[in-house]
Structure 1
Amino acid sequence: FGFVPSQEAGELQDEIDTFAAILSDALDIEVTGIVSTDYTALGVALGENQVQMGAFGPAGYVLASRNYDNLELLAQSVRFGDSTYHAQWYTNDPSICGADPVQGAFYYDADGNVVAVGPTATPALQVGWNADKTQDTAVSAGLACPEPVDLSVVVGKTIAFPGETSTSGYIFPTIQLINAGITDDQYESLFFGGSHDLAVTAVYNGDAQIGLSFDDARRSIREDFPDVGEKIIVFNISPRIANDVIAINADLPDDLKDAIFQAMADYIATDEGALVMEQLYSWTDLTRADATTEASLEPIGDAIDELGFG
């Protein structure tokens, strides 16, 4: 079972080993969890049958499926009841807001427009808040600008991107910049091998003024930096993105595919499984992949084609 780090690989491996052991017991088959360097490498490994399953960001899966015909969607992740997520734009410079930042977040109105909302009004759990909508007193509550800020504020600044094959960490945000008439010679780019927590840390430490990640990756560094919520301020978000997927070797027996999905779904429904999967990827549930899942990935393929690396 291959994974790609959304955080530091060493920390990810501990959670993967726990997850693999649970699957081994449930399936009565030895399951080994490995950390791949990026989604490109994981796609090759799955396509060449070096691994039989893989957890992919949506763009990583789309790219891999174009190169190999033995990949099959098994499941799609759910985060706090939502089968989509988005990129968040954030900064260490509160003046970008044009007014004092507030405890809050951004989401969508009925027409799909980005609007400011309260910190507990989004499906994704925001830093400094608990699942029961109480505030975590050990961690600063996440700040956001009072209103979405135009992306022109990134011109002349350094942007921390998690990685070039990350849907939320590069692909969708770059399309946003292109649509806003902003070209890559108008800002500097830093990349962090697919690690969202390292991108957040770079902005926290001042190595970049702007950063991208999934919502809300500030949570991934809150134990080391409990004031991250007030130091890193969200100022906009991307359009909706289909959630991560789990792909499997299509040649495996159907009954084994069913058993693998059920074992994962049963585990994530436990308290231990919920904690492990939240630490891995902020997943809170899984759904079996179907035609709707395939259709949800089409906008990602379109974005890849527009950027010219598909």
Structure 2
Amino acid sequence: MLKKIFILFLCLVSMACTSKKELGTEGRPIQFALVPGQDSTVLMENGKVLEQWIHAQTGLFVKMQVPTNFVAVVEGMGSQRVDVAIMNTFGYIMAHEKYGANAKLIGVNLGRSEYWGQIITSDPKIQKIQDLNGKKIAFVDPASTSGYLLAAKLFKDENIKPSEIVFAGKHDSVVTMVYQGRIDAGATYHTPEENGVPQDARRLVKEQFPDVFQKVRILKLTGPIPSDPVVFRKDFPADLEKKLTSALKSFGSTPEGAVALKKLYHLTGFKDCDDKDYDSTRKILLDMGKNVQDFVK
């Protein structure tokens, strides 16, 4: 009995010591989440590059993670299992309204801090958006802005009623399903061409399917919307926030950082922002007659 009490005492002491460790130290690293919009291996590999950059610039210890879905990132903000995250636009609005999380940086791509959604198909019989009535459609996730929300608004405006809806979980999964003909059409993010080369979600599977740009075409664009933000949980220490935002803004200026950012979220850098930058997305919700809670039930 005494042995069990002693072991319990040691566990309590260990827990107390851990809780007292300062955030950003090796014993209590800052938990940094990457919203899962594509292959988790790609995100983690390039997230590690960012993790090392932050440590080199600030001395802070950061631990990257890729939660299972958008909502898991939001809930992580509420439980403090996530301190900082690069989030999708709508996921941020959820985190802000539910848990008081705040956007401090916005992603930039070649000077643009906005992006679009797109409807894609490989079916030659589908030539206009109205042809999607009664069709099987794939979305990314209920909390994905370009991969669901914008497309859902378009369908509402055009009175399009799919026969079946599938949530694939990731943008590359939607493209793959369209390419393979498993669905009639899908919704993903869109980024304008660079030097005549498509940069939208289809590029995520080009290595696996070299003819994806020929086989899968863009039916219609949706948007634009503000780019993905860097979000801090409520009550995150201001001094650590300042260090992290400074490191993030300089990351894209290095060759390694430029490559990693492009592979992560097709960005070239970050710039300062605040919550008001995302009011346009809130308006889309209002136009649809929905609120954040409709997407987290």
In structure 2, the residue matched to 1:201 is 176
- Cα shift at 1:72: 1.6
Task: Tell me how far apart the structure 2 counterparts of residues 210 and 88 of structure 1 sit (CA, whole Å).
Answer: 10
Q: Which amino acid aligns with 1:276?
A: A
Counterpart check, 1:258 vs 2:288: no
Conservation of the 8 A alpha-carbon contact between 2:54 and 2:62: yes
Conservation of the 8 A alpha-carbon contact between 2:153 and 2:284: no
Task: Tell me how far apart the structure 2 counterparts of residues 4 and 57 of structure 1 sit (CA, whole Å).
Answer: 7
Q: Which amino acid aligns with 1:77?
A: G
Conservation of the 8 A alpha-carbon contact between 2:143 and 2:149: yes
In structure 1, the residue matched to 2:131 is 153
Paired residue secondary structure (1:247): strand
Task: Tell me how far apart the structure 2 counterparts of residues 301 and 258 of structure 1 sit (CA, whole Å).
Answer: 32
- Cα shift at 1:38: 1.5
Task: Tell me how far apart the structure 2 counterparts of residues 218 and 62 of structure 1 sit (CA, whole Å).
Answer: 26
Paired residue secondary structure (2:232): strand
Paired residue secondary structure (1:306): coil
- Cα shift at 1:247: 0.6
Q: Across the two proteins, how many residue pairs are aligned to each other? A: 254
In structure 2, the residue matched to 1:273 is 257
Task: Tell me how far apart the structure 2 counterparts of residues 291 and 169 of structure 1 sit (CA, whole Å).
Answer: 21
Task: Tell me how far apart the structure 2 counterparts of residues 294 and 177 of structure 1 sit (CA, whole Å).
Answer: 22
Conservation of the 8 A alpha-carbon contact between 2:49 and 2:257: no
Conservation of the 8 A alpha-carbon contact between 2:103 and 2:229: yes
Counterpart check, 1:36 vs 2:11: no
Which deviations, in whole Å up to 9, do the C-alpha atoms of 1:67-111 show, x marking residues without a partner?
112x121111112321111111111023433xxxxxxxxxxxxxx
RMSD: 1.8
- Structure 1 vs Structure 2: percent identity of aligned residues? 29
- Structure 1 residues 263 and 300, CA gap change in structure 2 (3 angstroms): farther
- Cα shift at 1:239: 2.5
Task: Tell me how far apart the structure 1 counterparts of residues 166 and 57 of structure 2 sit (CA, whole Å).
Answer: 42
Pick the structure with greater CA Rg.
2
Q: Which amino acid aligns with 1:198?
A: S
Paired residue secondary structure (2:207): coil
In structure 2, the residue matched to 1:84 is 114
Q: Which runs of 5+ in 2 are unaligned?
A: 1-31, 191-199
Instruction: Write out the 4+ residue segments of structure 1 that deviate beyond 6 Å after TM superposition.
Output: none
Q: Which amino acid aligns with 1:226?
A: P
How does the TM-score come out when normalised to structure 1? 0.77
Task: Tell me how far apart the structure 2 counterparts of residues 95 and 13 of structure 1 sit (CA, whole Å).
Answer: 39
Which deviations, in whole Å up to 9, do the C-alpha atoms of 1:180-237 show, x marking residues without a partner?
1123xx32112112x1001001111111121110011011111221111001011111
Q: Which runs of 5+ in 1 are unaligned?
A: 98-148
Which deviations, in whole Å up to 9, do the C-alpha atoms of 1:5-52 show, x marking residues without a partner?
111222322111221121122120110000011221111111221121
